[in-house]
Structure formats: structure tokens, C-alpha cells
Chain A
Amino acid sequence: MHDPDPAGAAFDALGDPTRRAIVSELGRSDSVTATQLADGLPMSRQAVAKHLAALSEAGIVCSARVGRETRYRLEPSALEVPQAWLGGVARAWDARLDRLRRLVED
């Protein structure tokens, strides 16, 4: 699936609190299996696997086969989008406040 709005896709996938919990777990470790994730979360391995698939599709999580296991980890570049976006909001306000200062200071 190719979404014309990749940022939107990533964020839509993260709109679900369960998926956020999964990503939070992934943030704590280098890479984990679906079984390991399910151990730390109040849900079945199957449910975790389904969410991991959605997160993979959105480009937030990537997986690699290691022997007989599939190991999942966060895709760091997925997090750069909101980071850059919020950074842009902050910079816009910095510039506006600086103009406000120059406007009202004598």
C-alpha cells in the first residue's frame, strides 16, 4: 500500500492506544518477538501480531527473521516526521515572537 500522506499513515496507525503501548514496549528494547511483547502486555500473541502488522504497514515498525523467530524493532525514521513537524511549529512561533518584540520595542 502506498499512502500519498506517509505522515498521516504513521499517525493513523498510532491513533490506537494498544499500538502505542506496543511501540512503547519496543522503545524499551533493541528488538523483540511478538511472544515477548505479549508477555508484557495484557493481550494475546495473536492480537499483538495483528497490531505489529499494522505498525509495519505504516512504516513504524520493521521486522527481521532471526533463525526461526521474527524480531521486531522500531523504525527510527518514522518518528522523525512528528519530531520535525513539531519542531517547525516551534520555530514558526520563535520567528513570530521575535517580530512581535521588534514591533513593540522602541
Chain B
Amino acid sequence: MPAQPDVVERELVIAADAERVWHALVDDDLLGAWLEADARIDPRPGGEVVVEFPDGVVRVGEVQAAEHERVLRWRWHAEGPGLDGAMRIATQVSIELTREGGATRVRVRESGFAAAGSRGVGFAAASGWVWDLLLASLALATALVLV
């Protein structure tokens, strides 16, 4: 179970070295290939990240950390027509690489659903909290534990 209620955390071990995985995070074409979007990233703190998804949603953000072959972190939010309040929440995406022999563990954390923002403040605050509630007491979420 997540230590924090408002974090979505997923991980996967990939049979490739960290150099190769890192390249797929910071190269526009490769990043776009696995995000299935048109992606641009300037992989340094303060650099821009823009990801245009085929459904018209554009996620725009700023790189917060880029430690070569270790950590890439950005904060993004969605722009585009017809988005509900939930999608407009700015969240932080952290991708951490850990070497495991010749393989690489890739851990993605998307967090900030409970952070205060403009529209979607309530949503954001509640979704993390409700998630906590679900896990803690209601037993409604037994089929959906995210980690």
C-alpha cells in the first residue's frame, strides 16, 4: 500500500541498462514513443516538457530534477478543451532508475493529487484523502490497491 494516500506508484524491471532506459526518457522521439504522444523535453531543471496526446490533451510542465541515469522529475498539468477538474490538477511525476545487475528497475510515482491548487483544490484534497479512507476503512478498494 502507498505510504502516502495521494501517490500512484508503479514499477517495472526492464532488461536493459540504465543508460539505454535514460536515453528513452530524455530523447524527444523515444519519450513520445512510449508515452504515445508528441513529446518534447528539455531534461534539466527548469526545462520545459510538453506532451501532446492524440486525444487533444496537452500536458505542459517543467522539469524539476534530472540526475543522469538516476532520476527525472517533472511537474505537469493538462491543457485542452473539455477537461474535467480532475485532469487539470498539477501533479509531479518522478521516474527513478535503479541498476539491478544488467537490468534497470524503473519506478514511476505520480503525486500531488492532494496538493492545493486552483480549480480542483477540493477534488485534489479529497481524492488523496478518499483514497486513504478507502484503503483504511471502507473495504471498497480491495480490488484496486495501486501498489
Contacts and interface: CB of A to CB of B under 8 A. Distances in A.
B124 interface: yes
A72 B130 CA distance: 18
B14 A8 contact: no
Interface string B1-44: 00000001011101110001101100000100111100000000
Given A7-B85, A27-B138, A28-B137, A83 B16 contact: no
Given A11-B122, A98-B12, A20 B129 contact: yes
A99 interface: yes
B49 interface: no
B122 A93 contact: no
Contact of A106 (B16, B21, B35, B125): B16
Nearest to B130: A82
Given A8-B120, A11-B125, A12-B123, A83 B141 contact: yes
B14 A101 contact: yes
Contacts, number: 128
A1 B89 CA distance: 24
A25 to B, nearest CB: 10
Given A101-B14, A103-B33, A79 B138 contact: yes
A41 to B, nearest CB: 16
B14 A79 contact: no
A8 B118 CA distance: 12
B97 to A, nearest CB: 11
Contact of B16 (A8, A28, A98, A105): A105
**Leading 6 A-B pairs by shortest Cβ distance:** A12-B122, A14-B126, A11-B123, A15-B122, A8-B85, A82-B127
